Amino acid sequence: MLDAYMHSLAEKASLSIGYPFATDFNYEELHSLLRYPLFNLGDPFMESNYGVNSFTMEREVIDFFADLFHAPKDNYSGYITSGGSESNLYGLYMARELHPNGIVYYSSDSHYSIPKSIRLLNMKSIEVGSTQNGEIDYDDLFLAVEQNRHLPAIIVANIGTTMTEAKDDLSKIRSILQKLVVESHYIHCDAALAGAYLPLLEGGSKFDFSNGADSIACSGHKFIGSPIPCGVVVVKKDNKERLSHYISYIESVDSTITGTRNGLSSVFLWYAIRHFGKEGLLQRAEECLSLAKYTYHRLLENNIDSYYNENAITVLFEKPSELLCQKWQLATKSGFSHLICMPGISKDQIDRFIEDVLNERENNKATF
């Protein structure tokens, strides 16, 4: 049964182009870690009485992302989460603790974890419209905030939406808050996919702490790559301390959502960051962007309606048949599908997918 499962898994992995998971990672050197109960208990910046952890690596990963996101030098914190959804939940949890009567504003193209987190936290919220490319509608946001300008505004900025990888503009969001004189506000950036590579590109770091962010969520298993889903959340240290509680049982501070956390992910991310460095990650990003451009033009050359945003590795196109969506594991919405040019995706895979679409068209013509 296990052999059959492994064979099926390998086949499906070779045909997965619709979800944002890097597939080119190699952590063989870390396999011996599976012998240990590697758990991170409590806050990574405070050792607990349980020593079989990866806090040293976790702190280094947080330091890396804090630098990438231009977090305040002496006022940042965070931890390795189970993924982007938990990172978003943590950012909104912090916003709620700071602004209990605040209203969350998020776009119709926000990740589904945003409205779910809002329900879990019992927060007031308003869904704002989106433009055709997936970016938040700033006019709609202005009107929504204007009607509630007497209350704190908690804005979720998408730094790469799920379908089109659109990026919301923090400068426009801040301008709205300034024009409406909303002094109490909090901006959380959901940068699950783009957060790990966008700041490496020239002019790409427009969503960081220096641009007004109060917390940033980023996935680790997406652009960097990991066999276990994981994420990173970076926040301001003084904000985090407002929701931290000392737990005598573990002799540490409880400042996370899940308490006991998987320690393997911290080592995976640490290993990858040490292996690639900023230059290596930039090279990965450039290769992915180049493949996205190639994909976009190949689709257009074959009369397949296609679109992609600036500095995006996600390419949108007209939805093919259900059979091909299942085979290539394509996420779809409103008559469109997308493929994501992640590290590990090759031109050969793109070409084989396009060949499948063209063959299907020819077969349909022959049928009619």
Three-state DSSP class for 207? coil
Whether 21 contacts 222, CB under 8 Å? yes
Predicted local distance difference test score (pLDDT) of residue 363: 84
Beta strand segments in the chain, E: 39-41, 77-81, 103-107, 124-128, 153-158, 185-190, 215-219, 231-235, 245-247, 252-254, 260-262, 306-307, 314-318, 331-333, 336-340
The answer, yes or no, to whether residue 180 has pLDDT greater than 60, is: yes
Predicted local distance difference test score (pLDDT) of residue 124: 98
Predicted local distance difference test score (pLDDT) of residue 368: 57
Q: Which two structure tokens, joined as six digits, stand for 290? A: 């180049």
Confidence bin at 243 (pLDDT 50/70/90): confident
Closest CA to 168 of 141, 197, 201: 141
CATH number of 28-274: 3.40.640.10
pLDDT above 90 as % of the chain: 93
Give 336-351 pLDDT, tens digit per residue: 999 999 999 999 999 9
Give 9-53 pLDDT, tens digit per residue: 999 999 999 999 999 999 999 999 999 999 999 999 999 899 999
Give 301-321 pLDDT, tens digit per residue: 999 999 999 999 999 999 999
Phi, psi of 65 (to 5 degrees): -70, -35
The answer, yes or no, to whether residue 204 has pLDDT greater than 90, is: no
Angle in degrees, 0-180, between the axes of helices 347-367 and 264-301, rounded to the nearest 10: 50
Predicted local distance difference test score (pLDDT) of residue 367: 65
Give 186-198 pLDDT, tens digit per residue: 999 999 999 999 9
- CA separation for the pair 312, 222 (Å, rounded): 14
Sheet-wide strand order for 103-107? 77-81, 231-235, 215-219, 185-190, 153-158, 103-107, 124-128
Confidence bin at 205 (pLDDT 50/70/90): confident
CATH number of 2-23+278-367: 3.90.1150.10
**Ranges for all domains in the chain classified under CATH 3.90.1150.10:** 2-23+278-367
Hunting for tokens 């965070």 — which residue is that?
A: 78
Give 127-172 pLDDT, tens digit per residue: 999 999 999 999 999 999 999 999 999 999 999 999 999 999 999 9
The answer, yes or no, to whether residue 96 has pLDDT greater than 90, is: yes
The answer, yes or no, to whether residue 366 has pLDDT greater than 90, is: no
Angle made by CA atoms 220, 274, 294, in degrees to the nearest 5: 60
Is the pTM value of this prediction over 0.85?
A: yes
Mean pLDDT (whole number) for 356-364: 91
Give 50-68 pLDDT, tens digit per residue: 999 999 999 999 999 999 9
In eight-state DSSP terms, residue 233 is E
**Ranges for all domains in the chain classified under CATH 3.40.640.10:** 28-274
